[in-house]
């Protein structure tokens, strides 16, 4: 087993609002090995984007540790942080709002190099230009777009700008925050393939945040399912798809459309709505919507437990859930 | 660069220069163009006033023989009760109004924009305290505030400009803060943070340029308002004192002759009106040109 490049321990992010404290991320722990991809899956508002941002300290975490290559990101000072930002990057969800509309493609891609003063002194202009062109080739942007403005480009090309910006400083780790959910399906595949190729050629480590399980199926090595600020299940991709254990994961998987007429698999419907993350009671987060819920589930939040090798589930009634699985 | 330039030649997307695009939009607006031409002419007049008229003889020098002559071929705007050429006095007065307008607005920008930007960007308690102070300032009507300050500071051209500038600060602070707030939560601000950009870099490269248009429009419109205020204050004797040919002061001096010589009031009044109107036309035109969405 390789050593983890990133280790997140008990990460928390609370937002104080007038109505109370929003528990956006509430005690998330995981680690990723170098060169692997962790997919974080969950519905809107479950805190998956906030997790990604808290790891990079784009939002200040309330509590917890994020160890990246031995350095605690949450305690890094300004100098360390700017060094870390070269190694840890993010690709944003919406390629329409994540690029400054006033800058050209080349300016956007050159910006990380300029801001971090990667090239200095005479000839730096030429070096930056060379690097920008190299990056444009890497992410598949035609060189003729060098002086274009983002509004002249389609979503896929804009997202390529975003990826080029992230790659500019040769990072080791990238948080991909729903990088394809704003794109057309045909373009989604292109961008996913590009990101996969880049991962192989540049030995990148990804956190891939998405609400689309079928996307992450082809992309991730391991999947963490998130519900209301906590991880409810974590397992290698194949294991998770073959043996989903947590009632929430089961429901999520059953919601993936299956393109077959004969197969008449029953869909598990989740009743009710997602619980408000404001002033949460100390019970299982999924309690109010779970079909297995019982009195036991009201006694505090369940911890992640390893139920099979590499397969972690946070559910008190996991035994009963598995029994039922066997019966079917 | 050569290589890139060549490869750009067959680019479908034409390289757009934003300033040029705004100018094209602006040019289509007839009113704004008229305003711009008049404003430009007034600025030219103000700059070259010393070459046209000699201040000591033409503007403030008395000529009792030619007193109270109605507008005609010799004196286009007539003469006042001391025989001074009103054309020279009104023409020279452009200098005062424009300088007062420009300086007070620039000073207001210089102080108000940083206040608004910091309040909007930093947010939190700092924002609350600063903006409540600004609110407290704005409760007092700006003309009263200006009168108060001129009274405290004493009447002079400089004090008039300072007073107008101070009453302008809250307006710029507010409008800047409001537009900073609309820009601040864009994802591209976060993307700048992610590449390691400092707050200073983000404010100067991202926030200010994207807030520029409302501030520019407000500055232009405010210049007109400040010119009126300055004329008003001079009229009631709190601004520039006679014999300086400030338009408000001219009006004030002429009002006692309004029955015998209405032209004495007419020309300074007309000058104020035309100046403010043309500046406002430019401001409106800028607003339309900078934000085409507002037009319909």
- Residues B117-155: pLDDT tens digits? 999 888 888 989 989 998 888 888 888 888 888 888 888
Q: Does the beta carbon of A323 lie under 8 angstroms from any beta carbon of chain B?
A: no
At residue A249, the pLDDT reads 85
Instruction: Report in angstroms the alpha-carbon separations of B42 from A127, B46, B243, B283.
Output: 49, 6, 21, 16
At residue B283, the pLDDT reads 87
Domain ranges of chain A: 1-102+156-227, 246-328
Cβ-contact A302, A317 below 8 angstroms: no
DSSP string, A31-78: EEETT-EEEEE--TTSSHHHHHHHHTTSS--SEEEEEETTEEGGG--H
Is the pLDDT at B213 greater than 70, yes or no?
yes
Query: Which among A92, A102, A144 has CB closest to B210?
Result: A102
Cβ contact, residue pair B196, A85, below 8 Å: yes
- Residues B215-259: pLDDT tens digits? 888 898 888 888 888 888 888 888 777 778 888 888 888 888 888
Dist. CA A152–CA A147, nearest whole Å:
10
Q: Does the beta carbon of B76 lie under 8 angstroms from any beta carbon of chain A?
A: no
Domain ranges of chain B: 45-295
Which residues on chain B are in Cβ contact (under 8 Å) with A85?
A: 194-196
Q: Which of A54, A102, A154 to mutate against chain B (most B CBs within 10 Å)? A: A102
Positions of chain A with pLDDT lower than 70, given as ranges: 1-2, 260-267, 272-274, 279, 322-328
- Min Cα distance B172 → chain A (Å) is 23
Among A233, A228, A198, which Cα is nearest to A213's? Answer: A233
Query: Which among A111, A148, A166 has CB closest to B11?
Result: A148
At residue B80, the pLDDT reads 76
Instruction: Report in angstroms the alpha-carbon separations of B108 from A196, B161, B180, B195.
Output: 53, 10, 17, 34
Q: Which of B191, B203, B291 to mutate against chain A (most A CBs within 10 Å)? A: B191
Which of helix, strand or coil describes residue B73?
coil
Cβ-contact A267, A254 below 8 angstroms: yes
Q: Which residues contact A291 (CB under 8 A, 6 or more apart)?
A: A247, A268, A271
CATH code for residues B45-295: 1.10.3720.10
In the A/B pair of chains, how many CB contacts fall below 8 A?
A: 81
Q: Does the beta carbon of B139 lie under 8 angstroms from any beta carbon of chain A?
A: no
Quickly count: other Cβ atoms within 10 Å of residue B118's Cβ.
Answer: 18
Question: Which ipTM was obtained for this model?
Answer: 0.79
Exposed, middle or buried, B269 (CB in 10 Å: 0-12/13-18/19+)?
A: middle
Is the pLDDT at B106 greater than 90, yes or no?
yes
E strand residue ranges, chain A: 4-17, 20-33, 37-41, 63-68, 71-72, 88-91, 173-177, 205-210, 222-227, 230-236, 305-308, 311-313
At residue A326, the pLDDT reads 59
- Residues B162-177: pLDDT tens digits? 888 988 899 899 999 9
The CATH architecture annotation of domain A1-102+156-227 reads 3-Layer(aba) Sandwich (3.40)
Query: Which among A93, A115, A147 has CB closest to B195?
Result: A115
At residue A20, the pLDDT reads 79
Cβ contact, residue pair B191, A90, below 8 Å: yes
């Amino acid at each position: 087993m390789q050593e983890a490049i990133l280790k997140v321990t008990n990460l928390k992010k609370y937002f104080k609002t007038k109505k109370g404290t929003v528990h956006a991320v509430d005690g998330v722990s995981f680690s990723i090995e170098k060169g692997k991809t962790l997919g974080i899956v969950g519905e809107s508002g479950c805190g998956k984007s906030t997790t990604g941002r808290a790891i990079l300290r784009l939002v200040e975490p309330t509590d917890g540790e994020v160890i990246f290559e031995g350095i605690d990101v949450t305690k890094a000072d300004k100098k360390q942080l700017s060094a870390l930002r070269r190694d840890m990057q993010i690709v944003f969800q919406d390629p329409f709002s994540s690029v400054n509309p006033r800058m050209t493609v080349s300016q956007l891609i050159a910006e990380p190099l300029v801001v971090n003063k990667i090239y200095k002194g005479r000839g730096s202009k030429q070096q930056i230009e060379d690097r920008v062109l190299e990056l444009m080739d890497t992410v598949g942007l035609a060189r003729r777009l060098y002086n274009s403005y983002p509004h002249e480009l389609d979503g896929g090309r804009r997202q390529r700008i975003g990826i080029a910006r992230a790659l500019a400083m040769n990072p080791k780790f990238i948080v991909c925050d729903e990088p394809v959910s704003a794109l057309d399906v045909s373009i989604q595949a292109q961008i996913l393939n590009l990101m996969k190729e880049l991962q192989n050629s540049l030995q990148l480590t990804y956190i891939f945040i998405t609400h689309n399980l079928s996307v992450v199926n082809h992309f991730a090595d391991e999947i963490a399912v998130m519900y209301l600020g906590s991880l409810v299940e974590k397992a290698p991709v194949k294991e998770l798809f073959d043996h989903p254990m947590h009632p929430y994961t089961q429901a999520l998987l059953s919601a993936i459309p299956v393109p077959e007429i004969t197969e008449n698999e029953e869909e598990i419907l989740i009743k009710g709505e997602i619980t408000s993350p404001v002033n949460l009671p100390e019970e299982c987060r999924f309690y109010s919507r779970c079909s297995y819920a019982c009195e036991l589930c009201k006694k505090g939040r369940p911890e992640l437990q390893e139920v099979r090798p590499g397969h972690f589930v946070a559910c008190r009634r996991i035994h009963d859930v598995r029994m039922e699985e066997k019966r079917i | 660069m050569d290589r890139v330039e060549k490869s750009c030649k067959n680019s479908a997307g034409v390289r757009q220069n934003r300033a040029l695009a705004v100018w094209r939009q602006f040019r289509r607006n007839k009113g704004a163009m008229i305003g711009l031409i008049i404003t430009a002419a007034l600025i030219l007049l103000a700059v070259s006033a010393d070459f046209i008229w000699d201040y000591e003889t033409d503007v403030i020098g008395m000529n009792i023989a030619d007193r109270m002559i109605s507008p005609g071929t010799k004196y286009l705007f007539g003469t006042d009760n001391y025989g001074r050429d009103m054309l020279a006095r009104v023409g020279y007065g452009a200098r005062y109004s424009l300088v007062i307008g420009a300086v007070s607005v620039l000073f207001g920008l210089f102080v108000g924009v940083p206040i608004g930007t910091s309040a909007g960007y930093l947010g939190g308690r700092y924002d609350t305290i600063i903006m409540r102070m600004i609110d407290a300032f704005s409760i007092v009507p700006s003309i009263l505030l200006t009168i108060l300050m001129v009274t405290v500071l004493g009447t002079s051209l400089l004090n008039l400009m300072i007073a107008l500038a101070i009453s302008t600060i809250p307006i710029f602070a507010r409008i800047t803060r409001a537009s900073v707030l609309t820009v601040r939560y864009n994802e591209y601000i976060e993307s700048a943070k992610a590449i390691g950009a400092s707050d200073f870099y983000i404010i100067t490269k991202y926030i200010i340029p994207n807030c520029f248009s409302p501030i520019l429009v407000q500055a232009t419109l405010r210049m007109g308002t400040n010119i009126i205020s300055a004329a008003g204050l001079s009229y009631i004797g709190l601004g520039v004192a006679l014999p300086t040919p400030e338009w408000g002061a001219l009006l004030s001096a002429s009002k006692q002759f309004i029955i015998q010589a209405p032209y004495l009031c007419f020309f300074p009044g007309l000058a104020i009106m035309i100046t403010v109107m043309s500046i406002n036309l430019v401001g409106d035109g800028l607003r339309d040109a900078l934000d085409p969405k507002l037009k319909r």
